[in-house]
Amino acid sequence: MKHLQNNSLELQFDRLANFRDVGGRSGYNGEKMGLGLVFRSEELSKLSKEDINKIKRLGIKTICDLRSDAERKSKVSRLNEKHGINVITLSMNDKSREFTRKEFFRFLVMGTKDINFEDIMHDMYKYMAFQCNQELKQMIELLAHRENYPILIHCTGGKDRTGFMSAMLQLAIGINYEEVMADYLHSNNLIGPKMKKLENMLRWISLFRVSSARLRPVLEVRREYLQPVYEAIIKDYGTIGNYLQTACGISTQTLKSMRALLLASDDKIIKEEPYARIVLR
């Protein structure tokens, strides 16, 4: 287990990447987001027995799966209701921009020039910010009820959909934007080696017709993905709180309840390593 500079926790697993605690940063009134309450990661299909035991010791009660139906069928999670965990599915995929495996294979083999992954990523973030309001509302409502904690949020790589959702909840409780951005970008450090291997494999499949530069936009997170949608939200709504209430239909009471649960008093912060029990007031 590694303590980061912001006091959040980064746990080591055998077969699970990009797992970390979302808490530890200061929000409204200088109160810190409690540790051991909300975690984020990549998909859970490859977990070792020890990985499963570690997650169980964290006491996870709810898993919020942001993947599509096809993704869930392709990579079946090894953690589910059998383990006493409530699994909530909130698909955040734009079906109009979804690649089929056949289409992606054609791209690799033919090296077609008409696909721009950077544009696709920008469109994906716009879609999440302005077309996934109900999914964001459902996640915030989960976070407003203490019986759902601790919660694990994940998608496939744990970087884009999970990164966006994590950023929205951090901003909603008053965490500084640059701290939120730093946590979002930290995924590059945690999955960089894995993404490099994937990049090399994809280039090999394409017989090196597809350059690293063309693939890289989908293999990493970038400030220029999250920042434009954040700026658009602030321009249109003034604050993240107004966006959540007006665009997503989240009640003032729901936001207050979530903030009360996430912003930490001493009894909500992990004190013993590696897996203290979390006490919610």
Q: What domains appear along the chain, each with residue ranges and CATH number?
A: 2-266 (3.90.190.10)
Please state whether the predicted TM-score (pTM) of the whole model is above 0.85: yes
Q: Assess contact for 161 and 66: CB atoms under 8 A.
A: yes
Question: What is the identity of the amino acid at 65?
Answer: D
What are the tens digits of pLDDT across the range 83-129? 899 999 999 976 655 555 556 666 666 666 667 889 989 999 999 99
Q: Assess contact for 119 and 218: CB atoms under 8 A.
A: no
What are the tens digits of pLDDT across the range 231-246? 999 999 999 999 999 9
Number of residues that this document lists for the chain: 281
Task: Return all residues near 224 (Cβ < 8 A) that are at least 6 apart.
Answer: 122
